[in-house]
Structure formats: structure tokens, C-alpha cells
Structure 1
Amino acid sequence: MKKVIYALILPLVVVSGLVFANREIKNETSKKSVPKPLSAAEMNAELKKWEASPDGIKYKEWEASPEGKKVLTAAAKIRKDISAFTNMEAVVTSLFLPPGSRLGFGVMARINGEDYILSFGPETFDKNFLNFNYEFHQLHSLKVNDKIIIRSRSVSHAPKYSYPIISGDYVERDSKIIYIRVPRKDGC
């Protein structure tokens, strides 16, 4: 009888010890200091340092070039709609992004006579290959010359691309919603 009691108590002690040790490890990792945000002066100093670097010099040259000015002007045209998160009418001009792009899934779209990259991010498939219900399923049904309504929270640019990059948050076709970006669960 004593052996049975010892056999039941021993795993209980081992498991509770592991749980307690794991709790201690988690507490230690949460006590690590988070780097404090930079002050305005520190941010300006870092910006000046970057502008003097080879990448910063290349960026400044691109920004002053006709191609860079064209991209920045096109981005400025829709900045008001982006900040207000309002509907923008677009026409799909290509189902493929420019060669060599690393933006994930996206299409080319024309808004008010300007071409933009409409990027949705990397495609992720369910680990279960039988589950075909993935995030961009309805976006793959888009065709060239489809008229869509889009909303976005950000527009960006990069010297690598000849077009501004719109982050697709909402897409509607024929008054039907075909895509809404789901916020990440981790808050980022």
C-alpha cells in the first residue's frame, strides 16, 4: 500500500517542481528591460548617420531622380484617402507584381490615372493540405480590368520599385467584400 502511495505522490512532486521552475523562468524573462524609445535629438542623430551611409546616399539620389519624384508624387495623391481610410476606386491592371518583388501576394492597380502596387503580404497556407480556405482565396478571382474599391491604412515607397506600395486592408468588387485584413493576434 505504501508503494502505491509513493508511486502516486512522486509524479505529483516532480510535475509541481517543473511547473514552479517554469514559472520562475518566465518571470526572469519578463523582468528584462525593454529598450526605452529614442528622444527626438537621438532620432535626428540616427537619421543623419543613416543619410551619410551608402544606403542613405543612394536613397537621397533616388528621391531626387525623376523616377523617385514620380513615385513620391503618386503616393502624395492618395495620402488624404489613406489617412482618412476612405474608399478609393481602382482598376486592376496586372495580376502580377513587378519582376523581383518580394512583397508577397499582390496586384497592380490604377487609381486616378496612377499605377500602384497593391500588396497583401505573404501567402500562408494551412498545414492541412485539404483545407483550401485561406486568406487570399477570393483575391485570386480578380481579373485584369476589374473595377474594385480599396481601403488602406498605409502607402509606402522603396527605390527598388517604380510604383508606390499600398497595403491592401479592404477590397470590394461589385458591392461584395472580397477581402478584409484580419488584425494579428499578437498586436503587431
Structure 2
Amino acid sequence: MCQQLRTCLNSLTVAYESMKYANNFVPASNVSQLRMKYANNFLPASNVSQLRMKYANNFLPASNVSQLRMKHANNFLPASNVSQLRMKYTNNFLPASNVSQLRMKYANNFLPASIVSQLRMKYANNFSPASNVSQLRMKYANNFLPASIVSQLRMKYANNFLPASIVSRYESRPRTVCVSVCDASLRHGTRKYDSSGNSSTKG
């Protein structure tokens, strides 16, 4: 029993000594790999994540580094920075459509409200059906378009998200006729108006 314990302690000592004196006789790249390999034996979990982040570029491909940064970011970065990192590195390992969705999801964390609306408008086509895009355009239009253009947009996209009956009622609504003038003309017996507002001279 004592012999096994002694062997175990010797192994741990060797590991620690390898880390301590590694720079003296091992190339720099191998030192980093050793630090990564034995880090869990004598460092707290949070420090291990930080070391992984610090030395990752020495022996991992660039894409893996980004994935590690994403994986361990929550351990030592504030929440707002994590969102920014997700935004920064997403293109390295996510399909383009997912990137747009992430941009939409985390936009509120670090962009002003007006820019968020613009981003929603810009990337909507990547992951929303055409009808939803129109609805989004309508919803956020007031944030960055003049009022007159908003009205025009509402008219342009109305069929996409209004019931057909309402659209029909709007399109078939009679044109406004000046009632006071019509009434005065009819009273004087000079002109006759039909329901469409067309006039004809009495005989």
C-alpha cells in the first residue's frame, strides 16, 4: 500500500516538475502543450479555461480556437462581452443563415435600438418567410423611415398580412364627394349627381 502511494506521489511530482522546468529543455510549442495537458491537475477550473484560451493559437487550427473561445467565454467574460464575442467569431464555424439569426438574437445587448431595427430589417430575408419579412418591415418602419414612406409601405404590403375582406373593403371604398356643394347644386336644380359622384345637367 505504501509502495503504491509512493509511486503515485512520484508521478505527480514528475508532472509538476515537467511543468516547472519545461522551458529549460523543451521547445516553446511543447511547453504550451504540456501546460494544457496537465493544467487540470493543479489549477482551478476557471484558470484552466483561461489557459486554454491563452495558448490555443499555439497548437490548434484557427477554426478550433474560435470554437474554444465560444465554449469557455462564459467562464471569465462579462455577459455583454460574451455576446460580442459570439457575434465576432460566428462566421468561422456557423452557416450564414445561423449567423444572421444570432445577430438578431444578441443585437439588443450591444447595439442601440434604432440599429437593432435596421439589422432586423436587413437580415430578415435570410430566415423569415416572405410574409414575415413584410410584417417586420411594417412593424419597424417608423423607427427609421419618414412617415410618408411608412404610409406607402403599409399600402404596398397590406395584402400580405391583412385579411382579404379588409383589403377588398378598402380598395372598393367610394371616393369622397364634396357633400355641401352637391347638396347646394341639387337644391338649386342645376346639377344631378349619381352614387359615384358623376354629375349631369338637368334638362
**Under a length normalisation based on structure 2, what TM-score does the superposition of the two structures give?**
0.18
**In proportion to residue count, which structure has more helix?**
2
The structure carrying a bigger strand percent of its residues is 1
Using the size of structure 1 for normalisation, the TM-score is: 0.19
Relative contact order higher in (CA < 8 Å, ≥ 6 apart): 1
